[in-house]
Amino acid sequence: MSETAGDHEDAQDQEFHRMNFHTRKWVRPEDLNANGTLFGGSLLRWIDDEAVVYAMIQLGNQRIVTKYISEINFRASAVQGDIIEIGLQATHFGRTSLTMRCEVRNIITEQIILSISKIVFVGLDEHGMPKEHGYKEVTFERDRFPEGLRRGLRRIT
């Protein structure tokens, strides 16, 4: 049976829903470059911040370092007052690492600002060495929350 436009849209829709968009940022004057558009450095910092927290929750470890970031393709930009959202999707659980992909969208223009196909985080032990995490799948709960961060954690219902 041949694929219809509807099938293609359904597949895209499913793919879209697998990516979690948690963080939204409002582009402020201090986030602009000399061209008056969103400064790439600000955006990369926001992505790293979001992704490292995601990795902490997924790997149950607060000692997480960024190991590898693949090619970054800046496809469109944003201007002051735009709102962007950062999407992450875990793509591979290794022995000590977690690989994810990232997509950033401009909510106002509905354009994709950038995509990164591979960001690798490694969980470390107390000696700074890669630590086996034992996980193979994404958790949607806070059941792996690192013990060291758990004090004061309140249940959000």
Ligand X SMILES: CC(C)(COP(=O)(O)OP(=O)(O)OC[C@H]1O[C@@H](n2cnc3c(N)ncnc32)[C@H](O)[C@@H]1OP(=O)(O)O)[C@@H](O)C(=O)NCCC(=O)NCCS
Checking phi first, is residue 36 left (phi over 0); if not, alpha (psi -120 to 50) or beta? left
Q: Cα–Cα distance between 87 and 107 in angstroms, integer?
A: 12
Question: Of the ranges 1-9, 36-44, 61-69, 142-150, which one interacts with ligand X (CB under 6 A)?
Answer: 61-69
Question: Of the ranges 39-47, 59-67, 72-80, 81-89, which one interacts with ligand X (CB under 6 A)?
Answer: 59-67
One residue of 18, 22, 75, 95 binding ligand X per CB under 6 A: 95
Q: Cα–Cα distance between 112 and 74 in angstroms, integer?
A: 9
Q: Cα–Cα distance between 133 and 5 in angstroms, integer?
A: 42
**How near is the Cβ of 129 to ligand X at its closest, in Å?**
6
Q: Cα–Cα distance between 141 and 144 in angstroms, integer?
A: 8
| Closer residue to ligand X (CB): 58 or 96 | 96
Write the interaction track for ligand X spanning residues 19-58; mark x where CB under 6 A is met and - where it is not.
Answer: ----------------------------------------
Residue 105: Cβ within 10 Å count: 22
For ligand X, the binding residues (CB under 6 A) are 65-68, 94-97, 120, 122, 124, 130
